[in-house]
Amino acid sequence: MRGAAETVTRWHEAVNAGDIEAAVACCHPEVEVGGPRGTGSGHDLMRGWLSRSGIRLDPQHEITEDATTPGRVVVEELARWTADNVPFPAPTEPTPTWVVFRVADGCLRSVVRYETGDQVPTG
């Protein structure tokens, strides 16, 4: 079974390659998807978010599991929105963002994006 950091790394590789189905395959069927525009769950929501936004996420540090909370991975990223018709106002330049991943049994259970590091909850 894959560890948390490996699962998050594989998800990033799929997202950044534009391989939405491979990214979704890294996720639990009821994966939580959250960000500044709200929270929901499921493969369809993940697939829709990745399709509509065309998001690409460039980790700014090595992806590692939180030492105090098993299965939790916090990644500081540079986000780019690449879809031609992003259905919301998206920055035109790479933008710092933070994503908190929760992994269990080799699957992403939660992917929540924050606009600032100060918004990231502890533990």
Domain spans of the chain? 4-83+94-119
* E strand or H helix at 12: helix 4-16
Structure pTM?
Answer: 0.91
Tokens 């009821």, located at residue: 30
Task: Label residue 103 exposed, middle or buried (CB < 10 Å: 0-12, 13-18, 19+).
Answer: buried
| The pLDDT of residue 91 | 66
Q: What are the tokens at 26? A: 């890294």
The letter for the amino acid at 40 is G
The CATH number assigned to the domain with range 4-83+94-119 reads 3.10.450.50
According to the model, what pLDDT value does residue 52 have?
86
pLDDT in tens, the chain (123 residues): 679 999 999 999 999 999 999 999 999 999 999 988 889 999 999 999 899 888 899 999 999 999 999 999 999 999 988 766 655 566 667 889 999 999 999 999 999 999 889 999 987
Cα–Cα distance for residue pair 77/20, rounded to 1 Å: 19
